């Protein structure tokens, strides 16, 4: 969603901020802006559309100069995408410019009270109340004013502020929206995510909720709402700038699909000790729980569906799944005997955060499976298992999903061992079956050329169905989401046995049905579903396991993937479906890394 960057240094801030905004494009946005400060003057430009539009306007603006400034990419929530609604927002006297991520929930009341005091608003945004409050209450003490107005705001914010009275300083504040400070040599940064400044520094400070920072070229000072200094630890980012760049690939999505063997290895290998899965990060007694509830959104939820089936199978414990955006409305039966597992690549998804809060209110222990280190969800959970997939830039998740699935497999085996449901021999066998998944993923990538050819054949379809049973059905959900979100082709995933209860009415001549047939104990059942759709004129593209000869007589086209343990196939069989979505979208000339209307981390409910 929105992205922010701030810079204070000794060089030209314009190019650094514009470059940072380009690196934040992947989050999804509809307008962008920049404000720079020189001495006691702040100038800004902002515009709808791509950052490239902003770059053109900013570069030709001679007044836009300075060694410190702020920038923003906006994903509209309050008010249409327009120049006036774009950030930064500036006070009418030119004293303040601000950028904001998040939502000010009580903006309507604040706005009304300020209008009653005679203040005029220019935009439709919730954000503008912040700059108007700053201007109204400012008494020459910027820190005090920031702390004062923050106490009036309800909702979430990561805030970047310029004040004309403090040349060389940028100010930041944060509640429930990500904000990270980058510490360089003679220059410092803040941003909504590290990719904005990773090419300049890998040393970061995490700003926590309720904290403020004043950042100059040489100093970062963090303080609380009582203006007391807070000593913060620096940490070093372990991944390299190349991880956040395309490295010769046409799209981040393709690069990230290809990175999956390495990402799986990074997730799995450090957690195998003496041939057994081990989680140093989990200090829980599995015997305490009588059920597990898995909750997440989108692809992370679909990873959870795979996890549900595998954990329940191995642990013989009730495992339920619920989309995080719905969980809190159901007054769910959660208590201290429920282990709640949340899954999130970004660690910032607002609905998932709300689900964690609901679970904690009901006294459940929360385990989070997260990719982004230090993210809100990682901090909120009682226990966090990092997926270590490295930065994921494409909006459509790929390595994020497969590494989540891998963690869930490992958790299932670990928990089954702790519960005494499997003996040591079985535990070691299953651990080994997980350990070979990176190699299986690598071999699956060999299907790349063949999948591309199939995408050339099928890319013009108007609607594509995915069918599978049991674990294959869970994978179909993800395969179908991948296709629709990046190619804009209508698609549905169906539990193959459910088709005949209504949806088969949509199967007609030429309809493409992708049939996932990798869970071999149910092979005959899915073959009979294939026959049902073929009899109604469908074309069938089947995904099956190497060595399956039967399938060739049933399907129009077949993709064979390498065999792994039947419980752990999802991490392998999803790969051709990701590639299929990618090439179909490419043939349809879609903006693959930044699909329309979508954002990388969904920080609004
Ligand atoms: C789809 C996709 C989304 C996310 C969902 C949750 O490709 O990326 O469906 O999976 O928005 O995001 P995280 O995992 O960041 O909580």
Ligand 1 atom closest to Cα of residue 372: 15
Domain end (from 374, 404, 435): 435
Q: Residue whose CA is closest, atom 10 of ligand 1?
A: 299
Distance CA 536, CA 513 (A): 11
- Environment class of 100 (CB within 10 Å of its CB; exposed 0-12, middle 13-18, buried 19+): buried
Same domain, yes or no: 423 and 448? no
Judged against a pLDDT cut of 90, whether residue 470 lies above it is answered with yes
Handedness of CA 47, 50, 54, 60 (dihedral sign): negative
Ligand 1 in contact with 349 (CB < 6 A)?
Answer: yes
Residue 507: alpha-carbon gap to chain centroid: 34
pLDDT of residue 221: 97
Same domain, yes or no: 525 and 585? yes
Lowest average pLDDT, out of 73-82, 215-224, 253-262, goes to 73-82
Same domain, yes or no: 513 and 578? yes
In the chain, what percentage of residues exceed pLDDT 90?
88
199 belongs to a structural domain? yes
- DSSP-derived secondary structure letter, 453: H
Domain end (from 187, 213, 237): 237
- pLDDT one-digit tens code per residue, 37-84: 999 999 999 999 999 999 999 999 999 999 999 999 998 888 888 988
Distance CA 291, CA 215 (A): 47
Same domain, yes or no: 406 and 505? no
pLDDT of residue 25: 86
Domain count for the chain, please give it. Answer: 3
- pLDDT one-digit tens code per residue, 305-334: 999 999 999 999 999 999 999 998 988 899
Ligand 1 in contact with 352 (CB < 6 A)?
Answer: yes
Distance CA 42, CA 127 (A): 18
- Environment class of 336 (CB within 10 Å of its CB; exposed 0-12, middle 13-18, buried 19+): exposed
Question: Dihedral of the CA atoms 118, 120, 121, 126 (nearest 10)?
Answer: -20
> Structural domain of residue 534, as residue ranges?
443-595
Distance CA 199, CA 241 (A): 6
Q: Which of 33, 31, 70, 81 is nearest to 159 (CA)?
A: 70
Judged against a pLDDT cut of 80, whether residue 599 lies above it is answered with no
How does the average pLDDT of the chain come out, rounded?
95
Please name the residues in contact with 124: beta carbons below 8 A apart, sequence gap of 6 or more.
78, 79, 80, 85
491 belongs to a structural domain? yes
Same domain, yes or no: 233 and 276? no
168 belongs to a structural domain? yes
Domain end (from 419, 435, 451): 435
Q: Residue whose CA is closest, atom 6 of ligand 1?
A: 297
As annotated, the active-site residues are: 2, 600
In the chain, what percentage of residues exceed pLDDT 70?
100
Judged against a pLDDT cut of 80, whether residue 604 lies above it is answered with no
Judged against a pLDDT cut of 80, whether residue 550 lies above it is answered with yes
Ligand 1 in contact with 295 (CB < 6 A)?
Answer: no
Judged against a pLDDT cut of 90, whether residue 540 lies above it is answered with yes
pLDDT of residue 598: 83
Distance CA 149, CA 159 (A): 12
Q: Residue whose CA is closest, atom 11 of ligand 1?
A: 298
Confidence tier at 246 by pLDDT (50, 70, 90): confident
Same domain, yes or no: 318 and 426? yes
Based on its alpha-carbon atoms, the radius of gyration of the chain, rounded to whole angstroms, reads: 25
603 belongs to a structural domain? no
User: Distances from the Cα of 96 to the Cαs of 41, 61, 241, in angstroms?
Assistant: 10, 20, 33
223 belongs to a structural domain? yes
Ligand 1 atom closest to Cα of residue 345: 14
How confident is the model over 124-147, as a mean pLDDT? 95
463 belongs to a structural domain? yes
Ligand 1 atom closest to Cα of residue 299: 10
pLDDT of residue 275: 97
Confidence tier at 243 by pLDDT (50, 70, 90): confident
Q: Which of 27, 28, 300, 477, when mutated, tests ligand 1's pocket best, judged by the most ligand atoms within 8 Å of its CB? A: 300
Domain holding 381: CATH number?
Answer: 3.40.50.10490
Lowest average pLDDT, out of 23-27, 116-120, 122-126, 565-569, goes to 23-27
Distance CA 95, CA 137 (A): 12
Same domain, yes or no: 23 and 81? yes
602 belongs to a structural domain? no
pTM above 0.95, yes or no: no
Ligand 1 in contact with 345 (CB < 6 A)?
Answer: yes
CA of 595 to the centre of ligand 1 (A): 13
569 belongs to a structural domain? yes
How confident is the model over 522-526, as a mean pLDDT? 97
Task: Find out whether 174 and 120 touch, Cβ atoms under 8 Å.
Answer: no
Same domain, yes or no: 399 and 464? no
Same domain, yes or no: 215 and 296? no
Q: What angle do CA 569, 571, 573 make, to 5 degrees?
A: 60
pLDDT of residue 600: 75
CA of 323 to the centre of ligand 1 (A): 12
Judged against a pLDDT cut of 80, whether residue 206 lies above it is answered with yes
Q: Look at the block and give the residue holding tokens 């509830």.
A: 293
């Amino acid at each position: 969603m929105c992205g922010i960057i701030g810079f204070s240094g000794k060089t030209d801030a314009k190019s650094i901020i514009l470059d940072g905004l380009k690196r934040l494009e992947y989050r999804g946005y509809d307008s962008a802006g920049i404000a720079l400060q020189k001495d006691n003057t702040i100038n800004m430009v902002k515009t709808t559309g791509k950052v490239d539009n902003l770059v053109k306007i900013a570069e030709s603006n001679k007044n836009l100069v300075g060694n410190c400034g702020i920038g923003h990419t906006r994903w509209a929530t309050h008010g249409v995408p327009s120049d006036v609604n774009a950030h930064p927002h500036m006070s009418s006297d030119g004293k303040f410019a601000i950028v904001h991520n998040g939502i000010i929930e009580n903006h309507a009341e604040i706005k009304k009270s300020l209008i009653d005091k005679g203040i005029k608003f220019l935009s439709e945004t919730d954000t503008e109340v912040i700059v108007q409050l700053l201007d109204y209450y400012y008494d020459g003490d910027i820190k005090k004013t920031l702390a004062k107005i923050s106490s009036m705001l309800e909702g979430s914010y990561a805030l970047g502020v310029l004040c004309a009275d403090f040349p060389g300083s940028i100010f930041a504040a944060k509640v429930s929206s990500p904000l990270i400070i980058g510490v360089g040599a003679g220059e410092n940064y803040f941003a909504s995510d590290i990719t904005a400044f990773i090419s300049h520094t890998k040393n970061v400070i995490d700003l926590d909720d309720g904290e403020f920072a004043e950042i100059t070229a040489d100093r970062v000072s963090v303080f609380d709402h009582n203006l007391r200094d807070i000593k913060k630890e620096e940490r070093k980012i372990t991944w390299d700038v190349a991880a956040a760049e395309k490295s010769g690939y046409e799209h981040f999505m393709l690069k990230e699909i290809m990175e999956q063997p390495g990402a799986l290895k990074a997730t799995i290998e450090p957690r195998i000790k003496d041939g057994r899965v081990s989680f140093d990060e989990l200090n829980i007694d599995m015997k305490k729980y009588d059920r597990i509830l898995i909750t997440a959104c989108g692809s992370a939820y679909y990873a959870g569906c795979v996890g549900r089936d595998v954990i329940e199978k191995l642990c013989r414990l009730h495992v339920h799944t619920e989309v995080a955006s719905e969980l809190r409305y159901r007054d769910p039966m959660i208590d201290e005997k429920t282990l709640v597992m949340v899954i999130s690549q970004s660690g910032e998804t607002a609905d998932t955060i709300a689900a964690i809060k609901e679970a904690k209110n009901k006294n459940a222990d929360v385990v989070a499976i997260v990719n982004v280190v230090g993210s809100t969800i990682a901090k909120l959970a009682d226990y966090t298992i990092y997926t270590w997939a490295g930065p994921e830039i494409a909006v459509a998740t790929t390595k994020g999903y497969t590494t989540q699935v891998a963690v869930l497999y490992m958790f299932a085996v670990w928990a089954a061992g702790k519960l005494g449901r499997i003996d040591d021999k079985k535990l070691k066998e299953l651990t080994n079956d997980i350990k070979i998944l990176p190699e299986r993923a690598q071999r699956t990538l060999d299907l790349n050329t063949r999948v591309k050819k199939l995408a050339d054949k099928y890319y013009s379809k108007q609607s594509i169905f995915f069918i599978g049973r049991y674990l294959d059905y869970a994978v179909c959900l993800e395969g179908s989401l991948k296709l629709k979100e990046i190619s804009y082709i209508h698609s549905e995933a169906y539990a193959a046995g459910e088709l005949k209860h209504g949806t088969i009415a949509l199967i007609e001549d030429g309809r493409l049905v992708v049939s996932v047939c990798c869970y071999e104990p149910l092979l005959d059942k899915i073959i009979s579903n294939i026959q049902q759709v073929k009899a109604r004129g469908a074309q069938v593209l089947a995904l099956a396991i190497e060595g399956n000869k039967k399938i060739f007589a049933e399907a129009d086209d077949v993709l064979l993937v390498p065999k792994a343990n039947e419980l752990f196939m999802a991490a392998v069989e999803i790969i051709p479906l990701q590639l299929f979505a990618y090439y179909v979208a490419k043939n349809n000339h879609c903006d693959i890394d930044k699909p329309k209307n979508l954002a990388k981390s969904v920080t609004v409910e």
